């Protein structure tokens, strides 16, 4: 996930959080990651306490974080969720 995010990967993680997570205000929470969309559903948000990812139309994305180690931990969480059946 260093240079390019795979849209299938992000959407897969989003769906797993939605399917397996608990419903929280404005989204779903699973294994410390919150998933939600904007009002029209074109932008997907995945976030934990330290990192947020905005993934939208035409595979445009933006990470918001303070330290590289936070991003690395976030990526590990997403990869772990993606492997859940």
> Does the residue 1 lie in any domain?
no
pLDDT attached to residue 41: 84
pLDDT attached to residue 5: 80
> Does the residue 25 lie in any domain?
yes
How many degrees, rounded to 5, is the angle at CA 12 between CA 62 and CA 74?
Answer: 45
pLDDT attached to residue 9: 95
pLDDT along the chain (85 residues), means of 10: 75 97 96 95 95 92 96 96 94
> Does the residue 55 lie in any domain?
yes
Give the pTM.
0.90
Residue 17 burial class via C-beta count within 10 angstroms: exposed 0-12, middle 13-18, buried 19 and up: buried
> Does the residue 65 lie in any domain?
yes
Residue 44: give the domain boundaries: 7-78
> Does the residue 67 lie in any domain?
yes
Provide the domain count of the chain. 1
Reference 21, options 10, 11, 8, 36; nearest CA is 36
pLDDT attached to residue 1: 45
> Does the residue 2 lie in any domain?
no
> Does the residue 84 lie in any domain?
no
> Does the residue 83 lie in any domain?
no
């Amino acid at each position: 996930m260093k240079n390019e995010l795979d849209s299938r990967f992000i959407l897969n993680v989003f769906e797993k959080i939605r399917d397996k997570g608990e419903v929280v205000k404005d989204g779903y929470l699973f294994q410390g990651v919150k998933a939600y969309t904007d009002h029209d559903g074109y932008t997907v948000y995945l976030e934990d306490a330290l990192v947020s990812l905005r993934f939208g139309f035409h595979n445009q994305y933006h990470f918001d974080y303070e330290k590289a180690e936070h991003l690395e931990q976030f990526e590990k969480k997403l990869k772990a969720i993606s492997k859940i059946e």
